[in-house]
Amino acid sequence: MDILNVSIAEAKKSFSQMIRTSEEKKQRVVILRRGNPVAIILPYGEYQKSRKEEAFKKIKETAAIYRTSGISAEQVYEISKNELEEKR
């Protein structure tokens, strides 16, 4: 995927065009302040995909921790259920 780098000043002038470019060309737009990246515009589908990948990675990490701790999924379920019921 191509990346377009633009300054904040350029971004202010052509915000609508940058959104259109990102959407149509599936292109990331990196906003720079004094040459340093400070923000990014990316197609929404790519954002959703990255969020799903991040969540899956966290699930895998958590599963690995539980495997090594000796706590079963059933125990985690019961503990979580009890904590939620106590908060009601």
pLDDT tens digits, residue range 41-58? Answer: 999 999 999 999 999 999
Number of domains in the chain: 2
The CA-based dihedral angle spanning residues 32, 33, 37, 39, taken in that order and rounded to the nearest 10 degrees: -80
Domain identity same for 7 and 25: yes
Is the overall model pTM greater than 0.85, yes or no? no
pLDDT tens digits, residue range 47-88? Answer: 999 999 999 999 888 888 878 888 888 888 888 889 888 877
Domain identity same for 60 and 27: no
| Domain region containing 31 | 3-42
pLDDT tens digits, residue range 5-15? Answer: 999 999 999 99
| Chain mean pLDDT for the chain | 90
Kindly report the number of other CB atoms within 10 A of residue 4's CB atom. Answer: 15
Domain identity same for 71 and 83: yes
